[in-house]
Structure 1
Amino acid sequence: MLNAFILYSSEGCHLCEDALALCHQVPSQILLTVVDIVEHNDLVEQYGQHIPVLQRDFDGKELFWPFDLATLCKFIEEK
């Protein structure tokens, strides 16, 4: 079973584009859902100043930007 993650982002956010590019470089396969927070007022309130944010589906733990590939891989592999 693939590990599932949500990337909270916003269209036109260059940091979000960088985070997405890093997610595509992860050596292990993941199921990634990208959510544009602009479409959800509650998410804008929660993440507006913090995007991009990667959230693990199984426990809700979040990884806030800035992160590099090594940090991202460690976060993805945590159980």
Structure 2
Amino acid sequence: MDLILYQRDDCHLCDLALAVLADARAPEFDSVFIDDDQALETRYGARVPVLRDAARDRELDWPFDAAALRAWLD
């Protein structure tokens, strides 16, 4: 599994998503900040935080809770 959390600097929703990931004991993931990348800003700007499973080419948009995240990961 190749997980990436797209987020912004100073984003309270992103902080909440990080807490959910910790609570759900999600596998290791990379954090990518979209603030200085125009292509990522265009794709994810209004949607962050977004968790992407690059291996399966799918995304989980916020809001999600620990149960929804665990179901998505399975």
Q: Which residue of 2 aligns with 1:20?
A: 18
TM-fit CA distance, 1:39: 2.2
Identical-pair percentage? 35
- Matching residue within 63, 71, 79 for 2:68: 71
Q: How many residues align?
A: 74
Consecutive unaligned residues of structure 2, counting only runs of 5 or more, are none
Flag the 1:69–1:55 CA change in 2: closer, same or farther, 3 A: same
- Matching residue within 36, 40, 56 for 1:43: 40
Give the RMSD, CA atoms, in angstroms. 1.2
TM-score normalised by L of structure 1: 0.86
Consecutive unaligned residues of structure 1, counting only runs of 5 or more, are none
Residue type at the aligned position of 1:23 = L
TM-score normalised by L of structure 2: 0.91
- 1:1-35 alpha-carbon deviations (Å, 9 max, x no partner): xx3210000010100110011111223x5121010
